[in-house]
Amino acid sequence: MKRTILGAILGLIFLSSSAFAGIIKIGALVSITGPTSFLGQPEKNTLEMLVNQINKNGGINGNKIKLIVYDTKGQPGATVILARKLIYSDRVLAIIGPTRSGSTLAIIPLIERARVPLISMASSYKITTPTKKWVFKTAPSDGLAVERLYSYMRDHNIKNIAILTAETGFGESGKEELEKLAGKYGIKILDKETFGATDTNMTPQLIKIKNTKGVQAIVCWGTNPGPASVAKEVKQLGIKVPLFMSHGVASKRFIQLAGKSSEGIMLPAGKLLVADQLPKTDPQRAVLLKYKDEYEKIYGPVSTFGGHAYDAFEMLKQVLENGARTKTQIRDGLEKIKNFVGITGIFTYSKKDHAGLDPSDFCIVKIVNGNWKLISY
């Protein structure tokens, strides 16, 4: 009897000290299909590539990774249901995603109640402002992109602009930041227009902007397909002022959709798009080129959005390698990340900052001959 009890106790001790039982379950909420599949597919590809690499080499501290990926289709309601499934049925230790800002904001109350670490791949500043205990993100906040864009405009004497923003979580967040930060950079917004998430005809808005006196540039803030339509219609209407886009179109998919109309468009973007154009002294250059090479050997042209997944997974991996075994330990470990050289930038999290980046992590790129050209570093 005593031996049976002792054996049971020893068994419990063994289980508690081997919480992973050989398997580390990580969830991912990704927009693989639907209108934002061009964001989610490279994220999914990147996560699967990294997990395969790790498992091939024996896992993390001897524990294999089990990646559970669900397609949110970019829909907030569906994302909430799938997040519940990851938490309560699959019992994952952490979640990477969602892809979209609106979907991320929809699940934050659930994440906070369930006390599961979440590393979002979406950009809205509302995701981590104010700071939520269990929520982190890797996509740069809209405000950082706006600051980098506005600093470029200030340097090139662009003072009067019109903005055209999508009626989505990403677009509305961007609009708020464009308005809030304009005065800081001496910029006046002379016209403000919006378009629906699935709209493909923005001619009325652009005609109004064209007829607004004094506009020196147009800023379009959204994700495809809308921005590609804007690029085409700007050309068709003979609008001559520069057209700037947001980092939400920083993928070859935008160039494919907009075609020749994409020529000359500028935007703030992560350094991945122009990795081979960076100075050799840039601390990200080697990491960027390695990821680009590995990804393109399997999947084709790399995307900054896949980089958001890379950063989320690699920081989670670092925390696990450092001995985190529970959800709380993972959360605490993420908050202590310092100077992590990633794809999107160099991350430093803290109790007050779960976004971890600054405007210097952006550069300004221009589309020239159907490709990206670094014009401001």
Tens-place pLDDT, residues 33-56: 998 898 999 999 999 999 999 999
pLDDT digits (tens, 9 = 90+) for 55-106: 999 999 999 999 999 999 999 999 999 999 999 999 999 999 999 989 999 9
219 located within any domain: yes
225 located within any domain: yes
Same domain, 173 and 99: no
Same domain, 248 and 298: no
pTM of the model: 0.86
Q: Average model confidence (pLDDT) for the chain?
A: 93
9 located within any domain: no
pLDDT digits (tens, 9 = 90+) for 298-337: 999 998 999 999 999 999 999 999 999 999 999 999 999 9
3 located within any domain: no
Same domain, 66 and 129: yes
Domain total in the chain: 2
Same domain, 155 and 264: yes
CATH number of the domain enclosing 32: 3.40.50.2300
Give the CA angle between residues 76, 78, 82 to the nearest 5°. 115
SS3 readout for 34-49: CCCHHHHHHHHHHHHH
Same domain, 88 and 198: no
Same domain, 351 and 311: yes
Same domain, 300 and 331: yes
pLDDT at 17 over 80: no
Compute the average pLDDT of residues 120-142: 94
What is the pLDDT, as a whole number, of residue 125? 87
Give the CA angle between residues 173, 177, 183 to the nearest 5°. 160
Strand partners, 371: 368
Same domain, 215 and 252: yes
* Domain assignment of residue 55, given as a range: 22-140+286-359
Of 224, 239, 269, the domain-final residue: 269
51 located within any domain: yes
What is the pLDDT, as a whole number, of residue 11? 44
Same domain, 169 and 226: yes
